[in-house]
Amino acid sequence: MIQRIKFCHQINETECGLCCVSMLLSYFGSYVTLNYLRERVNLGRDGISFSQIVELLGNEGIQSNVFDIQNISNLSFEVPMIVLDENRKHFAVIKRMKNHLYMVYDPEIGKYKLPVEDILENFSYYLIPAKTENFIQKKIGQHYWKYFLAPIRENSFDFFKLLVLSTMVYFLTTSVTFMIQKTIDDLNRGIDNSNSYLVSAVLISIAYLISSHFRNKIFIEIELKIDKFLNISLFKKVLELPFSFFNSRGENEILYRMNLLASIRSLISNGLVNIILDGGTVVFLLFYIFALNYLFGVAILLLSIVPIMYIIAINRRILLVNQVVLSEQSKLLKIQMELVNTLEYLKITGSEKSLFRKFSQKIDEFLASFKKGEKLSFTNSLILNFFSLMFPFILLYSGSYLGLLSKNTVGEKVILYFISSMIISKETGLFQNFTSFELIKNILERVNDIYYAKSESQNSDISPISTIESLVFKNVTFTYSDNSSDILSDLNFEIRKGDKVAFVGETGSGKSTILKLLSGLYKPKHGSILVNGQNLSLINLISYRKSFSYIPQNIDLMDDTIYNNLLLDKKYDSGYINRCLECSELKKDVDNLPLGLNTRVSSISNNLSGGQKQRITIARAMLYRGEILLSDEGTSSLDYITENKIMKSLDKQFETQVIIAHRLSTIKNSDKIFFLYKGKIIEYGTHEELYKQKGAYYQLYNAQENTDPKKGGI
């Protein structure tokens, strides 16, 4: 049996290694999905290493070894190999061909050929696989349409009505052709039925307009229902995903995939009906032709095999080109998002040209792939149009020359030409619609990456907790992926109700990660987090997270009014809103704005200062009235005096607080202060206790105090 590699195109930037594993497995006859492989390795944000690939292949029964590329003795092997491009930190698969050439299967770019010299220059290491006795072929497929069948089932009656009306419209259209046949035959016989044909034409036109109107109306309703269903289901699924899902997927990629739903909707609402309608039309017209001339019907069937074989042959090439176009389009959107998110920095530093150069390069790459796809599409359309144009003429000419049409009238010969043209056109359209369902797999793969991802287990069936008495970290270690070093290592601490706890330390020491673990956004690699003595994994996360008010380090506000940013679709008494505005030192600023709370906040404009935006997040946390305050550098954009006022207000409202701070004066009155260094707690105690130890905290505090003469000592 010929062993072939099933090409796997990477969907996410960190999955080139997984795609290479998938391609190697396919060479040995084992076909698995990327989801299957994702469940067996923790990719995180850092991708996968050669050692993880070796382990992953070993678990599938394939032994492998990694060599330096300069050791070329093994490059003559017939089996495909995984290679590493260290400059791009990117994996690909290569397989030896004739004439010292290698076929490169690049999960990002596609397939291309390279001579052995370029292989040695571009890649640094390679992995050679070999089957073992433990290898078992697997066939684990993915139901591409699993999550898109529901709107079809829910709107099945509407689809039926659309099909009936579409059939009527097409029947009325083709009936004109039959009228032409009758008219020609009557004229040849010297019969004049022009008046009756005129009446028939008027009636057909009226019926056509009415049927088309109702058909279009139902079609729009179906599109709206499908659009609503797909968008709501995908949006809901994104909200259900664990926070770790987004570590390896940029916001631009998520937005891009959500926008791809329009293509899926169009294919479901239009393509499905066209397949049924075109299929039925071809069958109906073939019956009619066989009734007129049996041999002519056989000739049409034989000749129509040519365009069908062509469509099947070109389909795979179009599929690969479309994969590259989608990938390049996603990268282009990423740069456009960078423009929006970094506009202020670009303007202030005069760096517009640097991003413009990057955009120009990327759009050239996108247009190159798009041009290739368009040329292929236009060539494909040209050839199919040629089939539709010439084949009926060839059939009519051959039939007349061979005497196959000698018994048919002139009108029947004309109708045979028109119908054969329609059959060829409908057949090619039918198979093109079939291939569209195949080609759209590129889009479905990206959207299904969201749908097939495992939703966060929120334990909603467990009874909600009424209050949080204690939070305990017990030997907690955390890492973003199996390929990265520990962010936090063997943490042990307890936060009891009424405690004000602070975490301080150098940038990158893991302080913010602690808050994400506390709130259940991340799960520890080792150890456990206990809530009231019970493991967090067994707690109702919905009620647990409602216990927190949160002030984030990154000021994330919606492109909406101050009022809507504060309330987040909740309802509060106006008096309470004003008190929270006063406590967050935001009331005067809001009153001085012409539109007050109705002033629109824009993430990329300077209509509000950074301090004002941060005070909006503080007021929002106060409004929410959570049992515990989580503050991640929540006052970093404020001056010292404003910060002190707000901290006093927060102390009055929140009995329990967990604070991340660089400015140590902010947390002097904390009950417990933990000093982190490279993910480990190296000191803890009150401010006075840590200061007396004259360790890392003492040095950092004195360094900060010496830079600000307005502040006193301890």
Task: Give the pLDDT confidence of 381-392 residue by residue, as tens digits.
Answer: 788 888 877 887
| Cα 484 off chain centre by | 24
Long-range contacts of 680-688 (CB under 8 A, 24+ apart): 680/488, 680/489, 680/490, 680/491, 681/491, 681/492, 681/493, 684/493, 687/714, 688/714
pLDDT at 274 over 80: no
The sign one gets for the Cα dihedral 662, 666, 668, 669 is: negative
Residue 438, burial from CB neighbour count under 10 angstroms (0-12, 13-18, 19+):
middle
Tell me which DSSP letter residue 247 carries.
G
Band of residue 711 on the pLDDT scale cut at 50, 70, 90 = very low
Asked whether residue 509 is domain-assigned, the answer is no
On whether the CB atoms of residues 24 and 82 are closer than 8 A, the answer is yes
* pLDDT greater at residue 241 or residue 283: 241
Asked whether residue 662 is domain-assigned, the answer is no
Q: What is the pLDDT of residue 713?
A: 42
Amino acid at position 369, single letter: S
Residue 307, burial from CB neighbour count under 10 angstroms (0-12, 13-18, 19+):
buried
Residue 32 and residue 122 in one domain? yes
pLDDT at 290 over 50: yes
Q: What is the pLDDT of residue 664?
A: 87
Residues 6+ apart with CB under 8 A from 140: 31, 32, 33, 36
Asked whether residue 231 is domain-assigned, the answer is yes
Q: Which two tokens stand for residue 532?
A: 């009231």
Residues 6+ apart with CB under 8 A from 533: 470, 472
Residue 248 and residue 359 in one domain? yes
The helix (H) or strand (E) run that includes residue 641 is: helix 640-653
Q: What is the pLDDT of residue 511?
A: 92
Strand duo 470-478 + 90-96: pairing: unpaired
Distance between CA atoms of 28 and 204, rounded to whole angstroms? 61
On whether the CB atoms of residues 431 and 311 are closer than 8 A, the answer is yes
Asked whether residue 633 is domain-assigned, the answer is no
Asked whether residue 82 is domain-assigned, the answer is yes
- Name the E strands within 565-655: 628-632
Residue 153 and residue 125 in one domain? no
Q: What is the pLDDT of residue 580?
A: 93
pLDDT at 73 over 60: no
pLDDT at 190 over 80: no
% of the chain with per-residue pLDDT over 90: 24
Asked whether residue 444 is domain-assigned, the answer is yes
Q: How many CA atoms lie within 13 A of 391 on its CB side?
A: 25
Picking from 451, 483, 500, the residue at the C-terminal end of a domain is: 451
Residue 223 and residue 106 in one domain? no
Distance between CA atoms of 272 and 530, rounded to whole angstroms? 52
Tell me the average pLDDT across 221-230: 87
Look up the CATH number of the domain holding residue 63.
Answer: 3.90.70.10
Q: Which two tokens stand for residue 403?
A: 């005497």
Q: How many domains does the chain have?
A: 3
On whether the CB atoms of residues 269 and 223 are closer than 8 A, the answer is yes
Look up the CATH number of the domain holding residue 570.
Answer: 3.40.50.300
pLDDT at 714 over 50: no
On whether the CB atoms of residues 261 and 272 are closer than 8 A, the answer is no
The sign one gets for the Cα dihedral 377, 378, 383, 389 is: positive
* pLDDT greater at residue 275 or residue 466: 466
Long-range contacts of 521-527 (CB under 8 A, 24+ apart): 521/242, 521/243, 521/244, 522/243, 522/244, 522/478, 523/244, 524/476, 524/477, 524/478, 525/477, 525/478, 525/479, 525/486, 526/475, 526/476, 526/477, 527/473, 527/474, 527/475, 527/476, 527/477, 527/490, 527/491
pLDDT tens by residue, 17-46: 999 999 999 999 898 888 888 888 877 667
- List phi, psi (to 5°) of 24: -65, -45
Residue 89 and residue 204 in one domain? no
Strongest mean pLDDT among 275-284, 429-438, 625-634: 625-634
Distance between CA atoms of 4 and 7, rounded to whole angstroms? 9
pLDDT tens by residue, 307-360: 888 877 787 777 778 778 877 887 888 888 778 777 767 777 787 888 888 889
Q: What is the pLDDT of residue 582?
A: 93
pLDDT at 215 over 80: yes
The sign one gets for the Cα dihedral 639, 641, 644, 647 is: negative
Residue 239, burial from CB neighbour count under 10 angstroms (0-12, 13-18, 19+):
exposed
Asked whether residue 118 is domain-assigned, the answer is yes
Q: What is the pLDDT of residue 712?
A: 43
Residue 348 and residue 249 in one domain? yes
Residue 105 and residue 215 in one domain? no
Q: What is the pLDDT of residue 656?
A: 95
Band of residue 709 on the pLDDT scale cut at 50, 70, 90 = very low
Location of structure tokens 């079809």: 152
Q: What is the pLDDT of residue 708?
A: 53
pLDDT tens by residue, 132-158: 888 888 888 777 788 888 888 888 898
Q: What is the pLDDT of residue 72?
A: 60
% of the chain with per-residue pLDDT over 70: 95
| Cα 336 off chain centre by | 16
Asked whether residue 267 is domain-assigned, the answer is yes
What mean pLDDT, rounded, does the chain reach?
Answer: 84
* pLDDT greater at residue 438 or residue 527: 527
Residue 379 and residue 259 in one domain? yes
CA distances (Å), origin 554, targets 551, 589, 617, 632:
9, 21, 10, 9
Residue 347 and residue 397 in one domain? yes
Tell me the average pLDDT across 397-418: 74
Picking from 84, 108, 131, the residue at the C-terminal end of a domain is: 131
pLDDT tens by residue, 644-682: 999 999 999 999 999 998 888 888 899 999 999 999 999
Residue 180 and residue 53 in one domain? no
Distance between CA atoms of 70 and 296, rounded to whole angstroms? 65
pLDDT tens by residue, 474-505: 999 999 877 778 899 999 999 999 999 999 99
Q: What is the pLDDT of residue 550?
A: 93
Look up the CATH number of the domain holding residue 343.
Answer: 1.20.1560.10
Q: What is the pLDDT of residue 579?
A: 93
Distance between CA atoms of 78 and 95, rounded to whole angstroms? 7
Q: What is the pLDDT of residue 675?
A: 94
On whether the CB atoms of residues 630 and 502 are closer than 8 A, the answer is no
Distance between CA atoms of 71 and 63, rounded to whole angstroms? 19
Write out the residue range of the structural domain in which residue 600 sits. Answer: 556-625
pLDDT at 188 over 50: yes
SS3 157: helix
Residue 254 and residue 338 in one domain? yes
Tell me which DSSP letter residue 625 carries.
T
Picking from 430, 451, 472, the residue at the C-terminal end of a domain is: 451
Residue 332 and residue 366 in one domain? yes
Band of residue 710 on the pLDDT scale cut at 50, 70, 90 = very low
